[in-house]
Chain A
Amino acid sequence: MGAQLRVYTQKIKSAQTTKKITKAMELIAASRIQKALARVEASSPYARAITRAVSAVATYSNEVHDLTLERDEIRRSAIVVLTSDRGLAGAFNSQILREAGELRAQLEAQGKEVEHYLVGRKAVQYFQFRRRAAVRDWTGETDVPTADLAKEIADAVIESYVKGSADGGVDEIHVVYNRFVSMMTQEPQTVRLLPLEIVDAADDATDGEHFPLYEFEPEPGRVLDALLPVYVESRIFNALLQSAASKQAATQKAMKSASDNADTLITDYTRLRNNARQAEITQQISEIVGGADALGSAK
């Protein structure tokens, strides 16, 4: 067998092996998306109930809470960056890091100091490589995030927020994560977490007569004290779950295109190999014919 032929055969083999791996990863990711989406779905009654409770306090009492209060001057901001632990997910992590970088530049242009909280090994590696400091990081749990992880993150950022920039804390907190739009699309999303904007107001809120009817145990202020951190936590938990689902979808997409690429390579190299084989045969025939001619004319 000619050298050229052997090279093509090797390349085809290697593309076939790659394809086997990427195909397997694609299938694994596809099955995990469903599980991750089911977790997003399963956590939504909790988020809904907490949101309803928060808007009940907001509408049935005149309580103002530190976590919902816009501060006059914002000197330092925190960005919570949600990436994954593993790569092989196309633009999943890079689009988040780019988004976080843009946000940082924008905040710094407004004269604010920026500090980071990182979730996922990819963000940690990115920061380490650039020798940039992060306040805290969490790794190892991004595939199947738990409510406890969300609580830990919430506690850390709330602590820093309550301290305020005067005491080395921050005055606002943003979260950057991948929102799951569909199997094909995952959008980087920036949300301001604190101070809170409570979106969902109770529908019959304008009815003043309801006001004295609602009873809080203990008084509204202390209920809010307990409730708002949980609200923050449920928002973070939701972001974590969305990010996990997006990661699986991004992996599936990336692995699908890798498999398709391997297919193209296999086809191309197979053509080239056939070409090379045919050339070799043609050459052998012409050698034989040439030899026979030489023998015939020598008689």
Chain B
Amino acid sequence: MALAVSIVSAEAEVWSGDASQVSARTVEGEIGILSGHEPVLAVLAEGQVRVTPIDGAPIAVDAADGFLSVDHDRVEIVARHAQLA
């Protein structure tokens, strides 16, 4: 099972697609997400979110001041100024 990831900024959707792994830094520390992860809502800290898509090279996103939510293998990364690094 893959994770359905979408990364959105206030003005547009930055990236969306299927990924095998997402890792990010929340205010409490690193979090790694694989398929089947329990539902989480986390506040992101400074730093990059790394997404490993099913096919293609890993991508990194700047998402300061953002949120990460996981629910039933849907991962949403929401930040006002999210952009691909």
Q: Are B71 and A217 within 8 A (Cβ)?
A: no
Interface of B with A (CB < 8 Å)? 6, 8-13, 26-28, 31, 38-43, 67, 69, 71, 76, 78, 80-81
Total residue contacts A-B, CB cutoff 8 A: 86
Q: A53-B67, A53-B69, A147-B81 are in contact. Are A226 and B43 (CB under 8 A)?
A: yes
Q: Are B10 and A234 within 8 A (Cβ)?
A: yes
Per the bound structure, the CA–CA distance linking A53 and B6 in Å amounts to: 14
Per the bound structure, the CA–CA distance linking A213 and B76 in Å amounts to: 18
Partner of B26, one of A57, A217, A234: A217
Q: A46-B78, A53-B67, A227-B67 are in contact. Are A218 and B43 (CB under 8 A)?
A: yes
Known: A150-B10, A214-B41, A217-B28; 8 extra A-B contacts, CB below 8 A, are A43-B11, A49-B76, A49-B78, A53-B69, A57-B41, A147-B10, A217-B43, A223-B41
- Whether A215 sits at the interface, judged by CB under 8 Å, is yes
Instruction: List the B side residues contacting A217 at CB < 8 Å.
Output: 26-28, 31, 40-43
Q: A53-B67, A147-B80 are in contact. Are A216 and B11 (CB under 8 A)?
A: no
Q: Are B40 and A222 within 8 A (Cβ)?
A: no
Instruction: List the B side residues contacting A210 at CB < 8 Å.
Output: 39
Instruction: List the B side residues contacting A43 at CB < 8 Å.
Output: 10-12
Instruction: List the B side residues contacting A46 at CB < 8 Å.
Output: 8-11, 78
Q: A215-B38, A230-B80 are in contact. Are A45 and B8 (CB under 8 A)?
A: yes
A232 vs chain B, min Cβ distance (A):
13
Instruction: List the A side residues contacting B80 at CB < 8 Å.
Output: 147-148, 151, 230, 233
Closest chain B residue, CB of each to CB of A56 = B41
Q: Are B27 and A42 within 8 A (Cβ)?
A: no
Instruction: List the A side residues contacting B40 at CB < 8 Å.
Output: 214-217
Within 8 A of B (CB), among A202-226: 210, 213-218, 222-223, 226
A92 vs chain B, min Cβ distance (A):
24
Q: Are B69 and A56 within 8 A (Cβ)?
A: yes
Determine chain B's interface SS by DSSP, over half rule. Answer: strand
Q: A53-B41, A216-B41 are in contact. Are A39 and B69 (CB under 8 A)?
A: no
Q: Are A42 and B28 within 8 A (Cβ)?
A: no
B37 vs chain A, min Cβ distance (A):
9
Per the bound structure, the CA–CA distance linking A39 and B38 in Å amounts to: 34
Q: A42-B13, A52-B69, A53-B69 are in contact. Are A215 and B76 (CB under 8 A)?
A: no
B7 vs chain A, min Cβ distance (A):
10
B71 vs chain A, min Cβ distance (A):
7
A133 vs chain B, min Cβ distance (A):
31
Closest chain B residue, CB of each to CB of A210 = B39
Per the bound structure, the CA–CA distance linking A14 and B71 in Å amounts to: 65
Per the bound structure, the CA–CA distance linking A53 and B26 in Å amounts to: 16
Instruction: List the A side residues contacting B26 at CB < 8 Å.
Output: 217
Q: Are A45 and B43 within 8 A (Cβ)?
A: no
Instruction: List the B side residues contacting A146 at CB < 8 Å.
Output: 11
B79 vs chain A, min Cβ distance (A):
9
Per the bound structure, the CA–CA distance linking A151 and B80 in Å amounts to: 9
Instruction: List the B side residues contacting A60 at CB < 8 Å.
Output: 39
Closest chain A residue, CB of each to CB of B67 = A53
B28 vs chain A, min Cβ distance (A):
5
Q: A42-B13, A147-B80, A223-B43 are in contact. Are A213 and B6 (CB under 8 A)?
A: no
Instruction: List the B side residues contacting A230 at CB < 8 Å.
Output: 67, 78, 80
Which of A150, A210, A222, A230 has the most chain B CB atoms inside 10 A of its CB?
A230
Per the bound structure, the CA–CA distance linking A218 and B38 in Å amounts to: 15
